[in-house]
Structure 1
Amino acid sequence: MILDRQQDMHIHCSYNDHSDLNLTVPNIIRTAEEKKLKKIAITEHVRRSSEWTGRYIEELNTHIPSSRVKILPGFEAKILQNGEIDCPQEYLASEYFIIASFHTKYPKDLWYSALIEVAKNPFVNVIGHLAPEVGFSLNDQEIEKLGELFKANDKIVELNSKYVRPPVKFLEIFKRQGVKFHLGSDAHSLGEIGNFNRINHLINLIEE
């Protein structure tokens, strides 16, 4: 499988409180065009209680028609302990690109059962920065079960440049199972957009 380095499928923007202030939607698009990217997903952190989502989607829709880069509007939603994702219901629709990621530490049994439920969620497109928490690991059979579910439910596993994930063992098993992958910088600054240098070894593993 050849991964497209001209696509960055996980970019944040200045609607959150911890990205660079100049990581605005117009600056993201300009930077992506300058770096000759072909496709990006702008996937801001979201919660069900987020009040800015309407303004965010409206701004994206304003810029999408004039951009030389194909833009997917979407969100990164936190995986909850019951396997649901922390995203407003109105955005769980086909026109939005949804990344589901862990942002809360759970014990292994909760983590694993939640991930199984996320794999079955028809509104989730991507499993973001996947890795077990510090303090537990997965055996090959547990990883294989996840891979089977990802493949059966057409989920993409992200190669995440910010956190250098997933672990090599996960990728080796998922690759053998035919799971889909793509690249995400998880950019919180303009300089991180389209920069995958930290995960060259993971890219090489998938492409070899």
Structure 2
Amino acid sequence: MLDDIIRSYLYTQYNDDENIQAFVDTYNTLAKEIFDWMKQANLPVFINGFNAGEQLKWIASGIYGVKPPVLISSKRQVFGPYNTAMFNQLPYNGKKVKNDSDQVVVSDDLFKRIMTWNYYKGDGFNFTIPWLKRRIIRFLTGIDGVDVANDQRWSVSVLFSDAGASISIIKGYRKLTNSALYNTFGFNTRTYQQDTNVLIKSTEYEYSSLFKQAFDSGLLHMPFYQPVSVTIIG
């Protein structure tokens, strides 16, 4: 990047005019200040603490050509089965389906995660299952879109079938608390091979539901055209 601007200058025939020379000097000073600000602003760098609020929207639109995304969450209610409707609300044996949807403009943090998903090139251009898992873990744990070390990807499962791709995110792990092992329980207190366990939820994947909403809303680009379903477990 250049260290200085190309300064404006007067033509020779106007060199003796102090007013015009003062105007040109002031113009060069302002242009240098704007140039220095643009160098420090790191406009193309949207991750981490750089660029937030209206400035983030400005550079996203001007440099990357994207607008702040909107998450769409839908909910379906079915009225008709027993105890789902008030008395005389529906005709006898009637059924009513109500679809509700909410639209929410995403936060700066989520906006940056979405942009990192769509524009990050550090994973290369050859699609593999680990390639996709790294991007998912980066979205879930990379605050403000930053890259993270994500060599451990056991909490994300990717399965391909004739129906498309299925992504499962496990938000915790099972811990065995009791079992039917010999001499570990009282007689006739447990059934054969009975185990007891608890689900310990992880706090690292709080963005799992937002990841699913972003995927369902078509905000996250994929390198293929197969349908993708996202499931949150835990």
Choose between structure 1 and 2 for higher RCO, CA contacts under 8 A separated by at least 6 residues: 1
TM-score (norm 1): 0.25
Q: Which protein has the bigger helix share?
A: 1
Q: Which has the larger radius of gyration?
A: 2
Q: Taking structure 2 as the reference length, what is the TM-score of the superposition?
A: 0.23
